[in-house]
A = this chain, B = another copy of it.
């Protein structure tokens, strides 16, 4: 007999530590919009649902709170955060800054094997253009991660992963808003510039690539206003003393 509990496709293995698994499951469910913004996440309810006690659920909440995905209001309840428009813009800014420097570093180094790996990934991406956008997002994440690790910056990618979730939530609301073929073309451009060691070209291409979300973000927000927290430009007012 298997010691597994299956809840709506999400599996939990009781042989290993439960807390980190719950963390991953809940994070994924939030990012994929399975758990909607402002919905309650009751500790005892989720505990019963997954067949564990409140403690592991609670510990998962702590991590998700630090990532800005849930908001726990003491003695009141825990809720899925709405998508923070300003946080998305901030995440995008950080990614542009870091990843443009990453490709600049790659373009100034000698990285033959990496190019081969990236080309292989590009061909895989082209195969799923017409397929499920979810699959493309997986390949897209892998592509950007490969660039980071290839530059010897694996730990920087871990950091970026945390803030990327803010952008991913936007993508998962409306897949059709993203022109996948255009994104793949940009990926190809980036690899080309790295291969021919054109530093500024690679940098600019990555910056342009990561600015794509700025086109769709206002549309997405207009389509699903209930999913969003606040408008752009409000960040300054949040810290009035500076």
Contact = CB atoms under 8 A, between A and B. Distances in A.
A53 to B, nearest CB: 12
A174 interface: no
Contacts of A242: 117, 146, 149-150
A117 B239 CA distance: 14
Number of copies of this kind of chain in the complex: 2
A35 interface: no
Interface residues of A, number: 40
Interface string A124-150: 000000000000000000000010011
B159 A94 contact: yes
B98 A156 contact: no
A224 interface: no
Interface in A191-242: 233, 235-236, 238-239, 242
Q: 8 tightest CB-CB pairs across the interface, nearest first?
A: A97-B101, A90-B155, A97-B98, A97-B97, A90-B156, A149-B242, A87-B155, A94-B156
Interface of A: 17, 19, 55, 58-59, 62-63, 66, 74, 84, 86-87, 90-91, 93-94, 96-98, 100-102, 117, 146, 149-150, 152-156, 159, 162-163, 233, 235-236, 238-239, 242
